[in-house]
A and B are shown apart, each in its own frame.
Chain A
């Protein structure tokens, strides 16, 4: 990988829900290509029979008692305390379903 196209950058930005400027497109093209190139060194290693590591503590199936601890529950006014747009005690989210459908 020695090249990453403007189209790929825009696709990634779309997937990541980011708006990026023209300057950023230019700099990300360069920086991402450099870093991805650096990642190529991993290809030197044979890892066919190696198990992947996703955690290091060795803990498995950690459960807690299935009960409500009331002091840990946020009241609705606490939950919406930091939201910029609130309506009738609820968050106002962006519309994600097209009205005409």
Chain B
């Protein structure tokens, strides 16, 4: 048997009884074992998975209408180890939580479970989601399945690798400053960062509360949309979540796509530039209008992001004292400490106005850049990372250089807008390159329509 590429394919195979759910899981766990060197998983949940598979298989064998009742029936899901899973260890890839077993589950995970998905494991990531490469994990770096010497992108590194290497069909990640779009682009899969407030953050280890967005990895855009329809919506447990319907006219065929000129300047690797420009021409060929737009405050985004984010990180990580759960603060790794220190600095007396307040004001300017652009175009097409995947160790000793990897992704989080990363080609060293389509707040529908067209789904 070969493992499915999409939910549709899985359901077809199950309908035709090409394999049972247990046989499917055997294959997934074999693949996980064979790819151990990628270090994509912190915990593999075989017992949980087989139990759930047997339960679901019974329903299927009884001839119940399982595929409408459970839209994610039998879908093997890997979940970033930031999502709480009741009774299953959740570490945030940090030694602080290495033995933490939560007594409740995150909303997103509960919704996937109710929709019939089967958890195969908890994935590795940069500890507390702090990183752009997957190297900051206290459980060792994750490796790129296309070439093990290269990083898979971070922070949701293991989740992207899991989908790319067929260790699960879908995977959940979190995107605070690019942590879904970046690894999706480095691993050649589809990654969705929903609008801030679309998916509940309840039960997910908080990084930066005004920026954290819960999203996922899939092979196809159709699946991305399916998973989004499951995970989105109010749960009464996260007061920032909004219920909304995407209003997109059925007749809309021609879209206006903006290329922000600030994203194509100095610092953009020629391989990435070439592929994104090619993608723009392809959208043009598909009948859309591609025009140049300007997001004039782009050059300030990384500075604003690393002030707001570290401030919120220092506050969110303040709760870990080893009293109620987890180990003591001496277990924080270097990057977490660096961010806590930086955040403490920008919030401390005498510096608050100069850094934090200033950053919140410039955030307004960055956000209104997008609002203005979306008055004249439907979506924005842009590179995800300035560089193709880089080698493990290449940027690890230079935090500022690593922070600058986020230059094209953080603005979407500051503005709270959605973005989807789709694979558009390979670098000269044979590693995947992605492009992101960004849309207005609560405008995911546009992203799905265009991404599907591009990938010919």
Listed in ascending order, the chain A residues whose CB lies under 8 Å from chain B are 9, 12-13, 15-20, 24, 27-28, 31-32, 34-36, 38-39, 41-43, 45, 47, 50-57, 59, 62, 64, 74, 78-85, 91-94
User: A12-B344, A74-B103, A81-B101 known; A38 and B303 CB under 8 Å?
Assistant: yes
CA separation between A24 and B177, bound complex, in Å?
Answer: 25
Interface 9-residue window, one of B49-57, B157-165, B362-370, B443-451: B362-370
Chain B interface residue number, banded = 35 or more
Contacts of B338 in A (CB 8 A): 28, 31-32
Instruction: Find the A residue at minimum CB distance from B404.
Output: A38
Contacts of A24 in B (CB 8 A): 334, 337
Contacts of A80 in B (CB 8 A): 324
Given contacts A35-B399, A47-B361, A82-B101, 18 further A-B contacts (CB under 8 A): A16-B344, A17-B318, A27-B334, A32-B338, A39-B306, A42-B304, A43-B358, A45-B300, A47-B362, A47-B365, A50-B364, A53-B414, A56-B415, A57-B196, A62-B240, A74-B103, A82-B102, A93-B323
| Inter-subunit contact B341/A12 (CB<8 Å) | yes
Contacts of A15 in B (CB 8 A): 344, 348
Interface of B is mostly: helix
CA separation between A35 and B346, bound complex, in Å?
Answer: 11
Contacts of B330 in A (CB 8 A): 19
CA separation between A45 and B304, bound complex, in Å?
Answer: 12
Interface string of B336-376 (1 = CB under 8 A from A): 01101110111010000001011111111101000000000
| Inter-subunit contact B242/A57 (CB<8 Å) | yes
Select one of A31, A43, A83 contacting B325, CB under 8 A: A83
Contacts of A41 in B (CB 8 A): 299-300, 303
| Inter-subunit contact A42/B240 (CB<8 Å) | no
| Inter-subunit contact B210/A54 (CB<8 Å) | yes
Select one of A45, A62, A83, A84 contacting B362, CB under 8 A: A45
Instruction: Find the B residue at minimum CB distance from A83.
Output: B324
Select one of B197, B345, B355 contacting A59, CB under 8 A: B197
| Inter-subunit contact B348/A12 (CB<8 Å) | yes
| Inter-subunit contact B362/A59 (CB<8 Å) | no
Least CB distance, A88 to chain B, in whole angstroms: 15
Listed in ascending order, the chain B residues whose CB lies under 8 Å from chain A are 99-104, 196-197, 210, 236, 239-240, 242, 297, 299-300, 302-304, 306-307, 314, 318, 321-327, 329-330, 332, 334, 337-338, 340-342, 344-346, 348, 355, 357-365, 367, 399-400, 403, 414-416, 441
Question: What are 15 inter-chain pairs, A to B, with CB distance below 8 A?
Answer: A16-B340, A16-B341, A16-B344, A17-B329, A18-B340, A39-B355, A41-B300, A47-B361, A52-B361, A53-B367, A64-B239, A78-B103, A79-B324, A81-B325, A82-B102
